[in-house]
Amino acid sequence: METVADFFGSQVFDDRVMKATLSSEVYRSLRKTIDEGQALDLRVANAVASAMKDWAVQRGATHYTHWFQPLTGITAEKHDSFISPSPDGGVIMEFSGKELIKGEPDASSFPSGGLRATFEARGYTAWDPTSYAFLKGKTLCIPTAFCSYGGEALDKKTPLLRSMEALNKQALRIIRLFGNTAVKCVKTSVGPEQEYFLIDGEMYRQRRDLVFTGRTLFGAKPPKGQEMDDHYFGVIKPRVEAYMEDLNQELWKLGVLAKTEHNEVAPAQHELAPIYTTTNIATDHNQLTMEIMQKVAARHGLVCLLHEKPFAGVNGSGKHNNWSLITDTGVNLLSPGETPYENAQFLLFLCAVLKAVDDYQDLLRISVATAGNDHRLGANEAPPAVVSVFLGDELSAILEAIETGAPYNAAEKTQMKLGVNVLPKFTRDTTDRNRTSPFAFTGNKFEFRMLGSSNSIACANIMLNAAVAESLKIYADRLEGAEDFETALHEMIRKTIKDHKRIIFNGNGYDGAWIQEATEKRGLLNYRTTADCIPHLLDRKNVEMLTSHKVFSEAELKSRCEITLDNYCKAIVIEANTMVEMARCEIAPAVESYIKELAKTAALKKSVSGEVSVTYESALMKKLSLLAGQIFHAADELEAALRTAGQHRNVVEESAEIRDTLLGKMDGLRAPCDEAEIWTAKAYWPFPTYGDLLFGVR
């Protein structure tokens, strides 16, 4: 019987395959490129291309593609066959190092934020040897970076790799100060937990809002939602279990370390979590995971919804980004050890993260900003839009002792005794967890919980890496010139705690009093929407930091500001147009049809009984007629607002107008439509309800 170990990574040109198919000289040279960032030799590229092609063709591949991550939020690929004509009229299968290294997609057809004009078409994809090639169907997919003819990054991979290099450079400076010369590289490690909804495919196709926008724009609250807490970690339904089993198989073949699966809090909501890996690879794997989730769902007659808030009134979906720093010698730099109070290296890296999160809280909020995620942040299910750090009791007490100069008395480990002899006894962790915190320390890593479920994790990790690199640079600059390293180190840790303790909050992030305290007393930022935060990407301090570490150029930052706000505007305009169409073409006619049926029933009752008044039908007709009028009026108002939404000089003004006007008009149309659903007979309602969608998969 074949086991997971037998087929894991079977569709990946990974290290095992490279060892078996490349000469020892070529393999060693490629590993130096991957592990140490050495320049790639063209002869090595040719040898790798030949081996890669042979491996892929043996497994049925006919095409190859440079697989990249443009600023659309999804992946892109253009397929080319391996065939070349032979002199005898046949074909031969060829693939060169040049074709492996470089591709040329049309750069002007992807979002560029003004970096490319329509007539300026040339762009390049460049092989990323740090991420393994893989097979998808009959196509060899080669992970690549994507740039314009002028060299500007038009993707999410390029700045991510730059941020990893920047962090590595500064982290090595710090490690050297502690006398460690063995470490050659420091990489960030990430494990992104992925939440999603599964609904029936037939029901999905009956709802224009789901098809066009990925979320429900209308829907009355069902009699039961998540009130009973009976779905979280509950027994997985057979149809969902079959889906999860199939999904795992596909992901394991692609080398994705899918580890944990369970039901989430909301009905029809689930989660998949992988084992942690290097950030660049984790980002590629998460993009693949989202794609495979949707493909596998279709096989099972299901649809996988990755929108952050597909249903009002129940929890939305996020993506928890578990982030840590790992040396090439296997040491986790954020591991406190048994005596964190005495672990100066850990404390310095911990302080670097605190400083980074406080100094660049705006960039972290910006990194998760989308129209969809705006519905989720701060909605009593996810962290608020205010960024703070949870450290827990033990670390908070350690930092307080360092700041004040007081002695620190380590708390004794508590043994858990559950009062039943047959149950095992175990030691309790020194710190609880906090699911309401946007940025929580969880033992040897930080869990950044603000990402939306459809987000690429690249954006958050770019900003986090760059901000921490800046903190480490400041520390290294000061410590390298210090007369007394130990004294300077202690003073720097103490000063960081004093200057940045405002960012530490161990309480309930859902409490309204915390938001007031955070903004009014602590001076923390509260950017509630994408339109609020994105313009601050171009604040001088942010531009200077990101350009100084060569993560972005100023032109690239301007383009990303433009693209993100443009996407925000387009997403909401599409939603608004969909609402108008559904209200006029589906909901209003359904309500009117039911009113006519009620009128017929009332007339029939009157003819039979001779009564002048038919109370039930008359009252209901009156209520529905009023709602129909409100729907008609609200649809007109929303359409009028749509006509003026694009009449602005720039996208910053347009996004502000949409935030301040269009969103309110959309709420104004939804309210009477949702109330009409409650009073309209189910046989007349034109599409599946929340109850149907959330509880329709058995």
pLDDT value of position 38:
78
51: CATH: 3.10.20.70
* Residues 128/157, Cβ–Cβ less than 8 Å: yes
Tell me, yes or no, whether 489 lies in a domain.
Answer: yes
Q: Do 467 and 593 belong together in one domain?
A: no
* Residues 47/26, Cβ–Cβ less than 8 Å: yes
Would you tell me the crossing angle of helices 540-548 and 554-582 to the nearest 10 degrees?
Answer: 120
Q: CA of 121: how far to CAs of 101, 249, 508, 592, in Å?
A: 20, 39, 51, 52
Last residue of a domain, one of 498, 529, 552: 552
Sorted by sequence, the CB contacts under 8 Å of residue 661 that are 6+ apart come out as 641, 645
Q: Count CA atoms within 13 Å of residue 603 on its CB side.
A: 6
Residue 26 three-state SS? helix
Residue 567 three-state SS? helix
* Residues 470/545, Cβ–Cβ less than 8 Å: yes
pLDDT value of position 455:
92
Q: Which amino acid is at 558?
A: K
CA distance 378 to 510: 7
Tell me, yes or no, whether 223 lies in a domain.
Answer: no
Structure tokens at 193: 């937990």
CA distance 266 to 272: 15
Q: Do 481 and 586 belong together in one domain?
A: no
CA distance 135 to 10: 9
Q: Do 205 and 112 belong together in one domain?
A: no
Q: What is the mean pLDDT of each run of 10 residues along the chain (698 residues)?
A: 90 96 94 82 90 95 94 91 77 82 84 78 90 96 93 94 97 96 95 97 98 98 87 92 97 96 94 95 97 97 97 95 96 89 91 98 97 87 90 89 80 62 62 81 93 96 98 97 92 95 93 92 96 97 98 96 96 98 98 96 82 78 97 97 85 94 97 98 97 95
CA distance 29 to 44: 7
Structure tokens at 528: 């509630």
Q: Do 180 and 105 belong together in one domain?
A: no
**Tokens 């491996």 -> residue:** 55
Q: Do 620 and 491 belong together in one domain?
A: no
Q: CA of 478: how far to CAs of 185, 309, 474, in Å?
A: 22, 46, 6
Q: In degrees rounded to 5, what are phi and psi of residue 185?
A: -155, 140
689: CATH: 1.20.120.1560
Last residue of a domain, one of 101, 129, 155: 155
- 92 CB burial (10 A radius; 0-12, 13-18, 19+): exposed
Q: In 481-553, where does DSSP find H-type helix? A: 485-500, 512-516, 530-533, 540-548
pLDDT value of position 510:
86
Q: Do 146 and 169 belong together in one domain?
A: no
Tell me, yes or no, whether 562 lies in a domain.
Answer: no
CA distance 501 to 109: 46
Nearest 10 degrees: Cα torsion 457, 463, 465, 468: -140
Tell me, yes or no, whether 561 lies in a domain.
Answer: no
CA distance 162 to 156: 10
Tell me, yes or no, whether 558 lies in a domain.
Answer: no
Residue 204 three-state SS? helix
* Residues 19/27, Cβ–Cβ less than 8 Å: yes
**Tokens 């050890």 -> residue:** 337
Tell me, yes or no, whether 58 lies in a domain.
Answer: yes
Q: Measured at the alpha carbon of residue 251, what is the angle toward residues 247 and 256, in degrees to the nearest 5?
A: 140
3-state SS of 121-158 is CEEEEEECCCCCEEEECCEEEEEEEEEECCCCECECHH
Tell me, yes or no, whether 195 lies in a domain.
Answer: yes
Q: Do 400 and 283 belong together in one domain?
A: yes
Q: Count CA atoms within 13 Å of residue 404 on its CB side.
A: 9
**Tokens 């009905």 -> residue:** 267
Q: CA of 232: how far to CAs of 229, 260, 539, in Å?
A: 6, 14, 42
Q: Count CA atoms within 13 Å of residue 108 on its CB side.
A: 7
47: containing domain: 4-155
Structure tokens at 33: 């490129």
E strand spans, 227-380 = 258-263, 269-274, 277-278, 302-305, 319-327
- 25 CB burial (10 A radius; 0-12, 13-18, 19+): exposed
Tell me, yes or no, whether 402 lies in a domain.
Answer: yes
Kind of pairing between the strands at 389-390 and 269-274: unpaired
- pTM for the structure as a whole: 0.94
Q: Do 175 and 149 belong together in one domain?
A: no
CA distance 588 to 624: 10
Number of domains in the chain: 3
In which region does residue 215 sit, left (phi positive, over 0), alpha (psi from -120 to 50) or beta (all else)? beta
Q: Do 607 and 541 belong together in one domain?
A: no
pLDDT value of position 406:
81
Q: Do 133 and 174 belong together in one domain?
A: no
Q: In 388-519, where does DSSP find H-type helix? A: 392-404, 457-480, 485-500, 512-516
pLDDT value of position 426:
54
Q: Which amino acid is at 139?
A: T
CA distance 367 to 460: 5
Q: CA of 458: how far to CAs of 110, 245, 414, in Å?
A: 18, 27, 39
Sorted by sequence, the CB contacts under 8 Å of residue 45 that are 6+ apart come out as 97, 98, 100, 101, 127
pLDDT value of position 511:
87
CA distance 264 to 229: 10
Kind of pairing between the strands at 277-278 and 415-416: unpaired
Residue 279 three-state SS? helix
Q: Is the dihedral of CA 684, 685, 688, 692 positive or negative?
A: negative
CA distance 376 to 385: 9
Q: Do 514 and 586 belong together in one domain?
A: no
Q: Do 526 and 643 belong together in one domain?
A: no
Last residue of a domain, one of 552, 580, 602: 552
